[in-house]
Amino acid sequence: MTQAQTETKLYTFDEFIEWYPENSEASYELHDGVIVEMPKPRGKHSKLTGSLVGKLLTTISDIDKTDL
């Protein structure tokens, strides 16, 4: 028995942005036109991401204060 192949729709970047769910708990990326759900970061990766985001927000805040 042969299995029917389904064609995967390829998305452009603009289509991906239109498609992207606004309040999604999941994170998605576009890989060669295919939308891929990304796993949530865990462990060290999650800690590192949180640290980098915190430092980035602090730096942005400091830059905004110096422009006043």
Q: Is 43 inside a domain boundary?
A: yes
Name the domain count of the chain: 1
pLDDT tens digits, 5-58: 777 899 999 999 999 999 888 999 999 999 999 998 789 988 998 999 999 999
Q: Name the token pair of 22.
A: 């606004």
* Structural domain of 57: 13-66
- Asked if 26 and 37 touch (Cβ cutoff 8 Å), the reply is yes
Q: Is 20 inside a domain boundary?
A: yes
d(CA 43, CA 52): 15
pLDDT given for residue 56 in this prediction:
95
pLDDT given for residue 3 in this prediction:
67
pTM > 0.85: yes or no = no
Q: Which stretch of DSSP H or E encloses residue 57?
A: helix 43-66
Q: Is 7 inside a domain boundary?
A: no
pLDDT given for residue 67 in this prediction:
63
Of 43, 26, 47, 22, whose CA–CA distance to 35 is shortest? 26
